Structure 1
Amino acid sequence: MLSEASARAEARDKSLSRKELGEKAGQLTEQLVGSNYDANKALHNAEIPDSDDPDRLERAKNATQFVNGSGKNPFAGMSREQLSVIAYDESGDFTVNEKKSAWLESYRQERVWRQQVVAQGSAEYSATGKLTDFYTSVLDHYKGLPAIEQSLYPSDYETKLQDWIDQDYNYKTSTAEGNTDTKSLMDKVLNPESDTFTGQGTFGTQS
């Protein structure tokens, strides 16, 4: 079932422009974690897969338990690519609570990565006065994201990061008294809705 969903995701990504893909991602996310989900919560909790497969039924049951605050996420530990395939699937093969569980696991992984990369960036700045390795890590992470998640970032995100990497800027020697607020700067880089970018992005609003 996952391979079929992957094929559908690939076809969707190829058929839509970056802007269209970003809009679709926003709409589907609203259905999973926005007011739309809350308004239909009872319906989602009652949803059962159209299947006789006991593993399939158990996974859906576990997903509903998880989103209601008990048990373990049945998709814990899956890759970002796999989680994206499930969370944004529109075929009906996955229940809404399964898709929500996949989205939440992806969000959890993103939070963990962000905490790690900010800690590494802070250490880099303390040691060298630079954030070049931080920008490189962020760019590598962005390039590894599924296309539908990349579409939530500004169109110039990759270009700007590469420019900053190429500049290899030393904030301590180039800034008066070396008082750059690196934590604030890194948070802005990780939140593409900030004024650091000229494009439009919606990812990171909950960072």
Structure 2
Amino acid sequence: MTEISKYTTSTSAAASDVSVTTVSLKAFYTQALDSPAGTTATVSTLAQQISDAASRAAARDAKLGWNELASAAQTSVDRIVGSTYQSNQARNDAEVPGTDDPAARARAKQATDFLHNKAANPFAGMPREQLALIAYDEGGPFTVNERAAAWSEASNQESAWRKQIDSKSMESFHRTGNSNAQGVGRELLDHYKSLSPIERAQYPRSYEVQLQVMAESSSRYSKSPQLDALNFLAQLSKWAKAKEADGFSSEGLCCVKC
């Protein structure tokens, strides 16, 4: 608790509402527009759609506080993979984009086919920032199934990252007795900071502070916090093996007690 207290007066997003300006959020999302995937025709359509989604995301994230953003994320996830999605699956499958653009229509159909195991994910390999823009774009041009497919790819990428950090953390613990040593704590913090605001809001509000403590004090743990490291390792293993449908962990990964 002493370690955490020194961070609580900082400007960390974990200790305050998401109150950054629209300008800074647009700067955050700029990187999401660098390399859309697909053919030239698809890129032209998709790049514009993602650009527009970035503007909407920046406006949303600047307007909503932490709790409101977390609630918006929960609503979106429910609509694209949760019970609301399941109860409206027939309508979701029948949905077509509100455009005559053949590339957009083909992509939407492929997303539906993907969700029925009939085609590859049209967003496979797309950068994580772009996937988040699509998945959480309420009221945008993307169909529900496109958003679900984007969320699925983001989830797969997250799962792959979790598994490698899980392995690295286990190795660190066996070598040093500290699962956060050898750069693990810093990697966790960097990964968290790389996520979009609406993704970060799905973690505990104090999560970034906890990760800062882990990253900066991993070499100073005494015997008592080593027990917390064991708890952290167990949670990390559970998180890495979570089913895709479970989405982002609501528990987060804690080595330092909240």
TM-score of the superposition, structure 1-length normalised?
0.85
Checking the alignment, whether the CA contact within 8 Å between 1:122 and 1:182 is kept in structure 2 is no
Mapped partners of 1:186, 1:64: distance in 2: 32
Structure 1 residue identity aligned to 2:55:
A
1:160 paired with 2:210, answer: yes
Cα shift at 1:181 = 6.4
Considering Cα pairs closer than 8 Å and 6+ residues apart, tell me whether 1 or 2 has the greater RCO. Answer: 2
Distance 2:187 2:215 in 1: 10
Identity of aligned residues (%): 39
| CA 1:195–1:4: 2 relative to 1, 3 Å | closer
| Structure 1 CA distance for aligned equivalents of residues 68 and 124 of structure 2 | 29
2:87 pairs, out of 20, 24, 39, with: 39
Over residues 116-146 of structure 1, what are the superposed CA-to-partner deviations in whole Å (9 max), with x where a residue is unaligned?
0011111122222222221111111000000
What is the RMSD computed on CA atoms of the aligned residues? 2.6
1:48-76 CA distance string (max 9 Å, x none): 11212111111000000011122100011
Q: Assess if the C-alpha contact under 8 Å between 2:53 and 2:140 holds in 1.
A: no
Tell me the equivalent position of 1:3.
Answer: 51
Query: Cα deviation per residue 1:32-61 (whole Å; 9 max; x = unaligned)?
Result: 111111111111111111212111111000
Q: 1:150 and 1:111 mapped to 2: Cα distance?
A: 16
Distance 1:39 1:121, change over 3 A: same
Q: What is the CA-CA distance between 1:166 and the residue it aligns to?
A: 2.3
**Partners of 1:124 and 1:19 in 2: how far apart?**
34
CA distance in 1, matches of 2:152, 2:89: 16
| Map of 1:104 onto structure 2 | 152
Structure 1 spans left out of the alignment, 5+ residues? 199-207
Matching residue of 1:203: none
1:75 has 2:123 as partner: yes
- Match of residue 53 from structure 1: 101
**Counterpart residue number, 1:151:** 201
TM-score when scaled to structure 2? 0.69
TM-fit CA distance, 1:163? 1.2
Q: Is 1:128 matched up with 2:186?
A: no
Are the equivalent residues in 2 in contact too, given 1:9–1:89 (CA < 8 A)? Answer: yes
Map of 2:31 onto structure 1 = none
Who is 1:204 aligned against?
none
Number of aligned residues: 197
Distance in structure 2 (CA, Å) of the matches to 1:195 and 1:125: 15
